[in-house]
């Protein structure tokens, strides 16, 4: 199947959206992948892992040649203090830390914005986690980006090589003023776990809200894509 849209996720938490969309597992892909029709459009959803490391294993697959484009989908960190938790953003472009820049497909950006996403000028593709407000503030002023993730740059580069459009649809689970819990950053031991509990609860709640908003907007956007075809 050549999809109309291929949605690429990093984490199992994000991939669970496939069930809500009514997609079924694709046995031809050696990691979590789902396909099916949503509102009449052919949709694929593939979990490409942290920093989209599995993406290279799909080289040559029709899943990476969707008619309308690849979508980097999931959670993100906020850099702009004006972008609150659970806001779904659609950037006009993605910037890499080495000066790279990838323009998102204007048609997809318009569709996601019409479906309820907040358009932002730029998303930063980071190579490392930004753990606290100070790191996010520094990135905000240095890059001028409103949000950050670790997959969209890889996906944008793959889309350019494949010659297909791409866009980003991300929900803010870690806003600019939030500090990631020590356990998320790799701290070990009983004390680190205890100190992490309040932050983990808050992070989980924000992530659930962001995922719900993402699913609503993605479904609405897919319906519009189906109508326009």
Residue 30 in this model has a pLDDT that exceeds 80? yes
SS3 state of residue 43: strand
Residue 192: its pLDDT value, please?
47
Query: Residue 146 sits in a domain of what CATH number?
Result: 3.40.50.1580
Q: pLDDT tens digits, residue range 52-69?
A: 999 999 988 999 999 999
Q: Count of residues for the chain? A: 229
Q: CA-CA distance, 66 to 193, in Å (whole number)?
A: 43
Q: What is the pLDDT of residues 43-102, one digit of tens each?
A: 999 999 999 999 999 988 999 999 999 999 999 999 999 999 999 999 999 999 888 999
Q: Are 142 and 95 in contact (CB under 8 A)?
A: no
CB within 8 Å of 229: residues ≥ 6 apart = 4, 41
The three-class DSSP label of residue 163 is coil
The total of structural domains in the chain comes to 1
What residues make up the domain containing 208?
5-228
Residues 14-26: tens digit of each pLDDT: 999 999 999 999 9
Burial letters for 81-93: b for 16+ Cβ neighbours within 10 Å, e otherwise?
eebebbbbbbbbb
How far is 50 from 168, CA to CA, in rounded Å?
A: 16
Say which residue, 140 or 200, is predicted with more confidence: 140
End-to-end CA distance of the chain: 17
Say which residue the tokens 């996403």 belong to. 117
What share of the chain has pLDDT > 70, as a percent? 92
Three-state SS at 113? helix
**Among 49-58, 114-123, 183-192, where is mean pLDDT lowest?**
183-192
Phi first, then psi, for residue 52 (nearest 5°) are: 55, 40
- Which two structure tokens, joined as six digits, stand for 158? 């793959």
Given a cut of 80, whether residue 187 has pLDDT beyond it is no
The answer to whether 109 and 90 are in contact (CB under 8 A) is: yes
- CA 172 to CA 214: how far, in whole Å? 10
């Amino acid at each position: 199947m050549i999809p109309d849209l291929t949605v690429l996720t990093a984490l199992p938490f994000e991939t669970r959206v496939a069930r809500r969309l009514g997609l079924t597992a694709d046995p031809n892909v050696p990691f979590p992948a789902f396909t099916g029709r949503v509102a009449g459009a052919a949709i694929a959803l593939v979990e490409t892992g942290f920093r989209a490391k599995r993406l290279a294993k799909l080289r040559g697959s029709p899943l990476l040649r969707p008619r309308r484009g690849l979508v980097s989908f999931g959670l993100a960190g906020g850099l702009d203090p004006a972008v609150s938790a659970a806001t779904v953003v659609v950037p006009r472009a993605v910037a890499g830390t080495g000066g790279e820049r990838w323009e998102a497909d204007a048609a997809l950006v318009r569709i996601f914005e019409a479906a309820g996403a907040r358009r932002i000028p730029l998303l930063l593709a980071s190579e490392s986690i930004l753990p606290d407000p100070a790191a996010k503030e520094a990135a905000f002023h240095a890059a001028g980006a409103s949000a950050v993730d670790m997959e969209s740059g890889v996906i944008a580069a793959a889309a350019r090589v494949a010659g297909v459009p791409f866009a980003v649809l991300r929900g803010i689970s870690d806003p600019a003023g939030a500090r990631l819990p020590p356990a998320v950053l790799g701290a070990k031991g009983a004390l680190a776990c205890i100190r992490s509990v309040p932050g983990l609860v808050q992070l989980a709640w924000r992530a659930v809200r962001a995922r719900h908003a993402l699913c609503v907007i993605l479904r609405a956007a897919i319906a519009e894509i189906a109508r326009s075809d």
